[in-house]
Amino acid sequence: MSIPVTAGEMNVIAPLVKELTGMILDDTKRYLVEARLGPLVEKAGCTSYAQLYRKVKDGDAQLREAFIDAVSINETSFFRDGKPFDLLRHKLVPDLLENDVKRQVAIWSVACATGQECYSIAMALKDILFDFSRYNVKIFGTDISEDAIRTASRGEYTPFEVKRGLVSAQLDKYFSRSVSGNYRINDDLRSVIQFRKANIFEPFTVAGMFDIIFCRNVAIYFSREDRVRLFRMLAGKMKPEAVLIIGSTETLSGITDQFERRVFHGAVYFGKGASK
């Protein structure tokens, strides 16, 4: 049974969540706080959310990381909303390599959670490139949750997790079975991906500039002000002809004018500068 959170406790927990993750939690999100932080209250030896708040604010670094891990939204699956991956296969990557197959293709998955998006990107590229050793492909995955990054780095998923988005042919082609009965991503796919813990609202180093950025269903949890900050930061990490892919229900209207909406066979994406 979850520990109830009072209105007064929400008034201190919500700003702390905002401070540490950028996420906005209003009073309608009490259920989320109870479901995700309730177990942490007990695990930390606290008797209330207010006491948990004080311990985190007092500088307990380990508890701070556990707090971030608990509230992070890590809902994800393989090939979630398939259109962006078809866009990669049939438009974005072929266009990038059309004149120079040796050029680097750098892709960033923002808030990559437990890694399914990054591995889906790698599988989509493998489908068209066949042999990564002939190309210069780099995929970066970042997330605020240290626990999520550990899971992503392992590249091992339960039968339930792989069945969310993958078919048997993909499992046979891109995974091996571990001794525990889980599915482990093949080394050739894992080798083109780097995972790193990062808070997108704090200074951090992600090497170089990017050709393609996935930032799907991330900004929906932020205030308008933080959405502006987010997309300004992403624009600064994009090469002149780079593209941005956001969630299918998201919009940049009223948030930024740095991007131009484009459509390819029903897949929406955003480019910097004039469309070709």
> In order along the chain (276 residues), what is the average pLDDT of each group of 10 residues?
84 93 87 91 92 92 92 86 95 95 94 96 96 94 94 96 94 94 96 93 76 94 91 93 94 92 95 62
Residue 262 phi, psi (nearest 5) = -135, 155
pLDDT at 26: 86
Extract the tokens encoding 225.
């002000």
C-alpha distances in Å from residue 54, one per residue of 49, 50, 59, 209, 267 = 9, 6, 9, 39, 46
* Per CATH, domain 83-271 is 3.90.1150.10: no
Domain ranges of the chain: 7-71, 83-271
pLDDT of residue 208: 80
Looking at residue 207, what is its pLDDT?
Answer: 65
Tokens of 156: 């091992």
**How many Cβ atoms sit within 10 Å of the Cβ of residue 266?**
8
In the prediction, which pLDDT does 274 show? Answer: 44
> Long-range CB contacts (< 8 A, 24+ apart) of 6-11?
6/49, 8/50, 9/48, 9/49, 9/50, 9/53
Torsion of CA 214, 218, 223, 225, to 10 degrees: -20
pLDDT at 3 (0 to 100): 85
In this structure, whether the domain defined by 7-71 belongs to CATH 1.20.1070 is answered with: no
Predicted pLDDT of residue 276:
41
- Among left, alpha and beta (phi > 0; psi -120 to 50; other), residue 188 is alpha
Q: What is the DSSP letter of 88?
A: I
Which tokens sit at 64?
């701070």
Residue 205 pLDDT = 60
Do residues 88 and 124 touch, judged by C-beta distance below 8 A?
yes
Helices (H), the chain: 7-21, 30-43, 49-57, 61-71, 83-87, 93-97, 116-129, 146-154, 159-162, 168-174, 187-190, 224-236
